Amino acid sequence: MNQKGSANIILVVVIVVLLGAVGYLALTKKSEPITEQPAPTPVSNVPISDPSQAPTPIPSSNPVGVETFSSQKLGVTFNYLKSQGSPVIEDGDKIYVGGKDGQWVQEFSKNSDDDLKAAIRKKFLVGISEQDCPVVDRTSDMENIATAEIKFGFQITDLGDPRIEASPCPEGYRATNGIRYFWMDKSHPDKFFFFSIGQYAILAEPAQTGGGEKTWQETFEVTE
């Protein structure tokens, strides 16, 4: 066979190989599985609320018109009728109910080992005899509450009695014809209080048929 014939044979072989390779690639590409792409998740423009950030309503058990006053500084709380006891003003160691011309309560510190009467004598009656200004227990309906008042050392029959003005008993804290008394919660023996009420009541609940409503000082509690 001459050289021209050999070249033609080689060319035919190359063409056949190329055609086979192209056919194989075409069949392989056609047989590849088509992977389905997932559709994108739609994004909502509506904000999602976080339940933990929602304010929790605090239910009130007070009747309509009744407010609760709490003092973090003095560690006390009490209820009062808003129509009678507003405004409530805290000023230093005093809380005024019904404004500064109204009723008030004052806090004092004491030795935890002293009972109420001993604490009163140490605070107000140093150097004053028991005969001149006796400290007298008041009746309390609660076992853990002690109450007392500073009396005159004589029987008062006339408010014009000159002995009243001359008395060494501390004015503003001694008994009068209105309601005044010292008060202590035995569960908190490091403090005691003085209530100046006068001759009228500020209620802690709506008026009831037949009376018997609690006053604000009757709901008074020491919280700390």
pLDDT in tens, 166-196: 999 999 999 988 999 999 999 999 999 999 9
Q: Is the pLDDT of residue 49 over 50?
A: no
Q: What is the pLDDT of residue 47?
A: 46
Average pLDDT rounded to a whole number, residues 118-131:
98
φ/ψ of 98, rounded to 5, equals 85, 30
Which tokens go with 134?
């006796």
Exposure string over 178-188, b if 16+ CB within 10 A, otherwise e? ebbbbbbbeeb
| Spatial separation of the C-alpha atoms in residues 159 and 7, rounded to whole Å | 149
φ/ψ of 14, rounded to 5, equals -60, -45
For 36, residues 6+ apart whose C-beta sits below 8 A from its C-beta are none
Q: What is the pLDDT of residue 140?
A: 83
What percentage of residues in the chain have a pLDDT greater than 90? 61
Average pLDDT rounded to a whole number, residues 148-165:
90
Q: Is the pLDDT of residue 102 over 50?
A: yes
| Spatial separation of the C-alpha atoms in residues 157 and 167, rounded to whole Å | 15
pTM over 0.85: no
Residues 105-122 pLDDT 10s: 999 999 999 999 999 999
Of the two residues 92 and 43, the one the predictor is more confident about is: 92
